Amino acid sequence: MRLSGRFWPTLRDAPADAEAISHKLMVRAGLVRQLASGLYSFLPFGLRSLGRITTVIREEMDRIGAQEFQLPVMQPAEIWEATGRYGLDEQFRLQDRSGRAMVLGMTHEEIITWHAAREIRSYRDLPQSWYQFQTKLRDEPRPKSGILRVREFTMKDSYSLDVDEAGLARSYEAHAEAYARMFDRAGLDWYMVESDVGMMGGMGAHEFMAPSPAGEDTIARAPSGAYAANVELAVSVAIDPDFGETPAAYEPFPTPGIGTIEELSAATGLPTGRMCKSVVVVTDTGPVLALVRGEHALHEKKLSHVVGRHRPAQPDEIREWFGAGPGSIGPVGLEGVRIVADPTIATGHYVTGANRDGEHLRGVVLGRDFAAEQADIRTVLAGEGCPVSGEPLVLEPVIEIGNIFKLGTKYSEPLGATYLNADSQERPIVMGSYGIGPARVLAAAIEQSHDEAGIVWPKALAPFDVHIVLVGDAATPQADFAAALFGQLTDLGLEVLLDDREATKPGEKFVEAELLGCPIRVTIGKRTLPDGPLEVQVRRGRERCDVPLHGAAEAILSLWSRQR
C-alpha cells in the first residue's frame, strides 16, 4: 500500500483517559478510536492487524476440522429462558416492534444448541465442531483498559458436539492444541491454566493467559510448569507455622482495643499464621462464618461455590449474631451460624475471637472446640508449595486471551439436543465451548511487546510486514527505486507499506513508523543510491541491519522470516 492519500491518523499525545499501554499505543498509532465507554471502532490499519489474527485463528480452527458458521447477534429471548440465562445483569435486552422479547447475544451456546437440536439425529452425525467470528454484546459493569474490557467485541466462539465424555475429551484436547498453535503463531507468551467454570457451568475448564501487568486476572504457577491455575481455584500447600504443643484446653485472654489480625499478632507475639480469621457473610439462608488462617485472605469466589450468593455482613448484624464486634468474633460456642473452615485450620491450634468484646481465645482446636464444614476458601499466597511438585508457587497478573469449557449436557438437555445411539436410545449431546477474543490478543501482544517509541508487533500481527520510508519526492531516482523494491517485496509475498507522502518530513515518518511498529523498516533516500547499502531497521531492538542493493528484496524477506 502506498501511504499517500490514505487515512492513518496518528497522535503525538495519548488521550488523557487512556491508562493501559495497549490502549494508548493503539489510539496513538491510528489503529482504533473510542466511540463511547467500552465501544471502539477499528480504523483501517487496526483492522489489518485484526484480520491477521483472525486468519491465524481461522486456519487453526479449520486444521482441527471445525466448520465456520455465522449466527445472528439478535436472538429471541425464549431460547435463553429455556436455559435459565434470560435476565442476566450483563445481557442487553430489547423488544421488536411487535413486543417480542429479544436479547443481544453475549455468547452463542443457546443458538448452536438450538440448531444442533434440529439437525443432529444420529450418533453417525457426531462429532462436530462449529465455530464463528461474531460480535458479542455485554453490558459490562465497568469497561476498562481500552480494548481489553469492552461492551461490544468480536469473539471467535466454537462449540464441540460429541456422543459422550470421551468424545468431548478428544474435542477439548484438539481445541487446546489449536489454541496453543494460534498463540505461538501470534508470538505471545502464554500459559494454559486451570480455571473456574463460572457461570458457563460444566465439568472443567482452562484459560489461556498472557502474562502482563495490565492483566485483570492472577494465576498461580510452578516455575517448572508442573502446575498453573487461576487463583480463583488455585490450591497450594500452605506453610504451617510452628504451633508448639497443643494445650489441653483453650483459654480466654484479654485483648482490649484489638480488632485486626495484625494487632493481635503484635500483642501476642505470635505469627499471623496462628490466628484464625473470622469473616461473616450473609447468604440467602442466613449468616455464615468463614474461617481462614491469619495470613490468608478469604476468596469470595471459592466461598460462593460452598455457600452460594453472599454479601459481607454489616457490623450491627455481626453484633446481633455473635454478641461482639467484628474484631472479637470466633467459632467457639456459636449456635445458629453455619461455619465453613479452610482445611488449613484443621491443623494446629489457634487464637480466635471469644465473641466478647476485648477478649480472645488461645489454643482453639477445630473438631475439639467447635465443629465446621471444611472447604478450600482461601487465596493462594506466593511462595506456598505447588500441589504437584512442592516447589514455591509464583503469582502473576495475566490477560485472559482464550478459554475452553467442558459444558457437558448443560445446554443440550434443556434445549432438547439429543441423538440416537447405536442401541436406538436417545442421549443428550455432550458439548464443549471455546472462546477467543481476537482484539484482546492484539492488545495482549502490545502489552507484551512495545518500547518507548511504540508498538513492536510480532510479525504475525503487524499491519504490514515491511514499512518503506521514502525520503524524497516522487520524481526522484530514490522514488523509482522504492517503487521497484515495493514491487519485489510484494512479489515475494510480503505486505508492504510505502510511505511516499511528500509533505511529511523524514523525521516524522521515522517516528510514525516506529509508533506503528512493523517488523522491518527500510529507508530509501539520496544516500541509498547509487551504491547502497540499503538501510534496514529491525523494529524489535531498533537494530540496524543494512543489506546490499543487489538481492535486497530476498535479504529483507530472510530477515523478516527470522523475526518473532
Kindly list the residues in this chain that would bind RNA in the complex (CB under 7 A).
10-17, 19-20, 28, 34, 36-38, 85, 88-91, 106-107, 138, 140-145, 149, 198-200, 216, 300-301, 403, 435, 453, 471-472, 505-508, 510-512, 514-515, 523-528, 535, 537
Alpha carbon distance 289, 78 (integer Å): 39
Amino acid at 339: I
Cβ 523 to RNA shortest distance, Å: 4
Alpha carbon distance 1, 262 (integer Å): 63
Amino acid at 537: Q
Q: What is the DSSP letter of 249?
A: S
Of 387 and 525, the one with the shorter C-beta distance to RNA is 525
Cell output for 142 = 465497568
**What is the torsional sign of CA 192, 194, 200, 203?**
positive
Alpha carbon distance 207, 193 (integer Å): 5
Pairing between strand 426-428 and 418-420?
Answer: antiparallel
Of 106 and 372, the one with the shorter C-beta distance to RNA is 106
Alpha carbon distance 273, 108 (integer Å): 46
The per-residue b/e assignment along 457-493, b for 16 or more CB within 10 angstroms, e otherwise, is bbbbbbbbbbbbbbbbeeebebbebbbebbebbbebe
Of 108 and 349, the one with the shorter C-beta distance to RNA is 108
Of 76 and 525, the one with the shorter C-beta distance to RNA is 525
Cα angle vertex 159, ends 156, 163, to 5°? 165
Of 279 and 365, the one with the shorter C-beta distance to RNA is 279
* In 370-511, beta strands by DSSP E: 373-374, 394-408, 418-420, 426-428, 430-436, 450-451, 454-455, 466-470, 496-499
Amino acid at 183: F
Pairing between strand 74-76 and 418-420?
Answer: unpaired
- Report helix, strand or coil for 555: helix
Cβ 321 to RNA shortest distance, Å: 21
Alpha carbon distance 532, 487 (integer Å): 18
* In 333-411, beta strands by DSSP E: 338-341, 350-356, 359-364, 373-374, 394-408
Cβ 226 to RNA shortest distance, Å: 26
Of 48 and 299, the one with the shorter C-beta distance to RNA is 299
Number of other CB atoms surrounding residue 298 within 10 Å: 18
For cell 509508533, what's the residue?
515
Cβ 15 to RNA shortest distance, Å: 3
